[in-house]
Structure 1
């Protein structure tokens, strides 16, 4: 009987890495991970600025690099920019170099749609071959990391797979999406009834499914993949779906989008307005065809799962 494939996940205690660790373990893989802090026998403490990754690369067939500095504010501070580049560009390149030297077969890099840019024209989507025009420090760092990895692994026996997800949501999500859930849960009257933008999102379950498909793919794989739920939604549709998942009837009234954009700009919230009212669409046709893969859960199912998890945990006693 063949030994199970040995995998390494960086960022294994994070939102994506933790779920990926569990699902790959359940799929019969031998999985080890790294995190900023010690998390158990199978997840060792190795920060992103680690210089020697060799202790966790022995006999590893596939590396999945999820760890990164995220939620990065735009900054001209030279020291901060250098830190971002160390963690998000130099670290994955260093890991890839050592993985190549250790004979790792496949290096899967979790990038971001931000490597491509921040927005699309309504009805026009980013594709896997679209030109990259990142607009912020995080997007630039992901794009530069992609280029560094391609250069490092070019001509080697280590395959490079790049995955560019949009906003990822799911049980335990934090940040901006968690804030949107809070608004939907309170079911306050909101002025989004006239918003008709389109944005691609990806549920944690669908993203993990795509990563596992890349791990299992039996043929050589040097590709860049976009991933989404394959169902683009407007801000209006997102709030309606979230609110109904909480068992409430949405209270959305119509306000001119131009007026809301103007108000947000005056208040210094233009970036938030761009996310609420702008378009960001991904065409995942290539991903589905190349991997013979389909998102296993619908947007509506994934939102309900996300809300159910939040409700379950909010009802737990404080000492649990």
Structure 2
């Protein structure tokens, strides 16, 4: 029980989608947790209001007697991500903020620090699934800051003896998930015709329950120390398959128009939405063999079951 004995698990970003799910799982398992939020009054009796992520933050009161940290808080995508000010914010919060938290965690005697990164660190590829051995190829300030934060964490741990674990998830979905998944559910529920019938891609997603199970497994396992893991459901879907599954869960048929993918990419580029088109039309697969081999881990929920549950709860 590497990171789950001798003190609570500190979870940053506990009011967010991933952090909140981690806190819920730890509580359900009877594991002591200290949920860190930015807004006072949120959460249960084991919730604390922590400092704003950054190089000057004082985490020591939050880290007192903690056994492990799950760092799920981050500065995420913004519309003006390409501006100089936005790029500086990504570095200050995601890189310098992670360094500050890691240094103080080590000073407080925390044994294991688990960092929730992003598959964006690997970049984009269509020819084969990503593995942990692939050379990082991040695109954009968010993915670059996540890679820098990973390197910063390893540097801090190398000088202090604190154990590190990094997990890179692809798109995370589940009940009440924010972002692109929620939009797809809404469009499909409304019967909106979508020009995606000619897409023949393969994408790996990760259900929130599967990601949280991997996180908890990494906290428990001695074999996880000093390791990077890619997360995923263990199966891939095309965008049309995803939409048909979502529609079926709502008792509908997905209305997909067979618009050529090349035309979709051109149209998206003209309106500045190339990244969205890539997420819908491009392939991005993840190989989770390392977690299976090293940790004996298997995703506890199938993609089909997780999608049905997510859609059902979004509708309730």
CA RMSD of aligned residues (A): 1.7
Given that residues 159 and 220 in structure 1 are in contact (C-alpha distance below 8 angstroms), is that contact kept between their aligned partners in structure 2? no
Which residue number in structure 2 is paired with residue 103 of structure 1? 109
Aligned mates of 2:57, 2:79 — CA distance in 1: 26
Aligned mates of 1:27, 1:41 — CA distance in 2: 16
Aligned mates of 2:294, 2:310 — CA distance in 1: 29
Unaligned runs of 5+ in 1: 313-320
Aligned mates of 1:199, 1:64 — CA distance in 2: 26
Residue 3 of structure 1 and its aligned partner are, at CA, apart by: 6.9
C-alpha offsets along residues 195-240 of structure 1, whole Å, 9 cap, x if unaligned?
A: 1111111011100000010111145611000001111111111111
Which residue number in structure 1 is paired with residue 36 of structure 2? 34
Which residue number in structure 1 is paired with residue 26 of structure 2? 24
Q: How do residues 1-320 of structure 1 correspond to structure 2 at under 5 angstroms?
A: 5-38=7-40, 39=42, 40-46=44-50, 47-49=52-54, 51-73=57-79, 75-117=81-123, 119-122=124-127, 124-219=128-223, 221-312=225-316
Residue 169 of structure 1 and its aligned partner are, at CA, apart by: 0.7
Q: TM-score, normalised by structure 2?
A: 0.93
Give the length in aligned residue pairs: 309
Given that residues 171 and 310 in structure 1 are in contact (C-alpha distance below 8 angstroms), is that contact kept between their aligned partners in structure 2? yes
Residue 73 of structure 1 and its aligned partner are, at CA, apart by: 3.5
Residue 289 of structure 1 and its aligned partner are, at CA, apart by: 1.1
Aligned mates of 2:150, 2:172 — CA distance in 1: 20
Aligned mates of 1:51, 1:140 — CA distance in 2: 22
Residue 72 of structure 1 and its aligned partner are, at CA, apart by: 3.0
Which residue number in structure 2 is paired with residue 318 of structure 1? none
Aligned mates of 1:3, 1:170 — CA distance in 2: 29
Aligned mates of 1:140, 1:186 — CA distance in 2: 36
**Structure 1 residues 251, 76: closer, same or farther in 2, change over 3 A?**
closer
Unaligned runs of 5+ in 2: none
**Structure 1 residues 3, 291: closer, same or farther in 2, change over 3 A?**
closer
**Structure 1 residues 255, 104: closer, same or farther in 2, change over 3 A?**
same
Q: TM-score, normalised by structure 1?
A: 0.92
Which residue number in structure 2 is paired with residue 315 of structure 1? none
**Structure 1 residues 286, 204: closer, same or farther in 2, change over 3 A?**
same
